[in-house]
Copies of this chain bind each other. A is one copy, B any other.
């Protein structure tokens, strides 16, 4: 009986999170919080609601994470002058330092994971994952 692709993805993600938790032990942030930081590192000035949509969770759930990151002085928040409802989030210097500090071990984890795959296989894997992500986003659960 062939295990499903859904299960295979979950398995890899579980393994990655386990290794990531280990890498981040002592950093003061969880794997989920670290991921939110990396998203902000790539796209500064997002709102909590945008971050939530990016992670397929409710805004209330993302608020927990944002609150923790702000308390740790890793992010800062400011009103959007163009839309007073919005509060834009940016990394602080402290937040950028943390990203920089763990960039290397996280890259090494990815290298270890793909060790044994060819460059072509890695490229195809990335392509297929992006395809799956896009397809599921186009047909949202609600």
Contacts and interface: CB of A to CB of B under 8 A. Distances in A.
A142 B22 contact: yes
B7 A10 contact: no
A100 interface: no
B141 A113 contact: no
B135 A5 contact: no
| Copies per complex of this chain | 2
A67 interface: no
Interface string A27-61: 00000000100100010000000000001110000
Contacts of A42: 1, 3
A92 interface: no
Interface residues of A, number: 56
Interface of A: 1, 3-23, 35, 38, 42, 55-57, 106-107, 109-110, 112-117, 121-122, 124-126, 128-133, 135-137, 139-142
Closest 5 interchain pairs by CB? A22-B141, A15-B136, A13-B13, A18-B56, A8-B129
